[in-house]
Amino acid sequence: MKLRKGHHDATGLRFGIVVARFNKFVTSKLLSSCLDGLTKHGVAEHDIEVVRVPGAFELPLVAKTLAKSARVDAVICLGAVIRGDTPHFDYISAEASRGIGQAALDADGPIIFGVLTTDTVAQAIERAEPEKYNRGGEAAKSAIEMASVLKQLKTMEQEPVVERAPRPKRVARRRAK
């Protein structure tokens, strides 16, 4: 069995972060704990590119463009969609999650879903706080793991296939009488 897994040493890896401005009082906390998470694991500041977009709805397109560029090994999307009195929440949160998933497949590179979808402002703040759920820091860890495992797999694809000589057939030995 061959077990492939990503590790959390991110030295030399490059990351893009796309962060929504909507509900900035939450997304700025997500961003700072995400940056902390990356640098804590060895990412250099000059290897991080941050792009701001108006809201969660705009995350997928920018994430896809960044992921397709050769500048980053993984992209992290950060946003906060908080339920209000209308069905607006459902449209924005559904499109953000569907779009981010689709963007990763289209770009053929890791894009992390660091978007909070909560019923209340209090829930969103709790999840963004580094001392509580620390969703920004978690997004950073997931991005490092995905960047690392995909790098391994893509490097393996480029390695030449080594042809092995067929094994000699085993001949059953007779028991001596």
* Contacting residues toward ligand INI, per CB under 6 A: 20, 22-23, 54-58, 79-82, 84, 88-89, 92
CB nearer ligand INI, residue 12 or residue 54: 54
Q: Which of 139, 60, 71, 141 is nearest to 104 (CA)?
A: 60
Whether the CB-CB separation of 7 and 151 falls below 8 Å is answered with: no
Rounded to a whole number of angstroms, the minimum distance from the CB of residue 128 to ligand INI is 13
Rg of the chain taking only CA atoms, in angstroms: 22
Which CB atom, from 30 or from 143, has the smaller least distance to ligand INI?
A: 30
Active-site residue (options: 7, 8, 46, 88): 88
| Shortest distance (Å) from residue 157 CB to ligand INI | 36
- Report how far residue 108's alpha carbon sits from residue 64's, in angstroms, rounded to the nearest whole number: 9
Of 22 and 133, the one with the shorter C-beta distance to ligand INI is 22
Token pair 């660091």 is found at: 114
Any idea what DSSP says for residue 155?
Answer: H
Is 88 among the residues known to form the active site? Answer: yes
| Least spacing, CB of residue 149 vs ligand INI, in Å | 29
Q: What is the end-to-end Cα distance of the chain in Å, rounded?
A: 40
- For the annotated catalytic residues, the residue numbers are 88
